[in-house]
Structure formats: C-alpha cells, structure tokens
Amino acid sequence: MECGDLPPDEPLFVLRARDRFAAEIVRAWAVRAGRHHETVPEARVGEAFDIARAMDGWPIKQTPGRPDTRYVAGDDSIPPDTQSGE
C-alpha cells in the first residue's frame, strides 16, 4: 500500500468499512482532532466524518479476526456475533 510520503518504517493501521468497529473509531478520531482546530484542518476532520458515514453504510460487517461473524449491516434478526457464513 502506498501512502504518499509515509516512511517505509512508520507504523500504519488500516481500517476497512466491513470492520464493525471502524466507523466508530474514525468518528472518535474526528471528534478528537476537531478539538485541535488550530493544528488539524477543518477539511480533514470533515473528510473523516464523511468516511465514517460511508463506513456506516457499508452493507457487509464483520468482527475483526472472526470471519464467521460476517453479516449484512442493518439485519437485526441475526445477532452479529453468532451468524455464520456469508
């Protein structure tokens, strides 16, 4: 994965929209970054909120590291921690 001027030895953590915790984490980052408006551009914070909303709308969700927990977002009839299969 190429990330602009990221040094090859700098740690990087990637969140996918299917990760059931991703949107919440991105949103928390945006809230915290928004408190530092003097150093974090407002546009960057807004972009993070947009990404979190897009992640919320991603149709397939999964608990990280548990492929057996894949489910369709918004389907409350099957608890996400117990559903198996696609």
Q: What is the spatial distance between Cα 20 and Cα 61, in angstroms, rounded to a whole number?
A: 5
Q: Which distant-in-sequence residues (6+ apart) come within 8 Å of 73 by Cβ?
A: 56, 57, 58, 59, 60, 61
Task: State the pTM of this model.
Answer: 0.74
Cβ 18 vs Cβ 61: under 8 Å: yes
- Extents of the domains making up the chain: 22-72
Q: How many CB atoms sit inside 10 A of residue 9's CB?
A: 5
pLDDT tens column, 30-69: 999 999 988 999 999 999 999 999 999 999 888 888 877 7
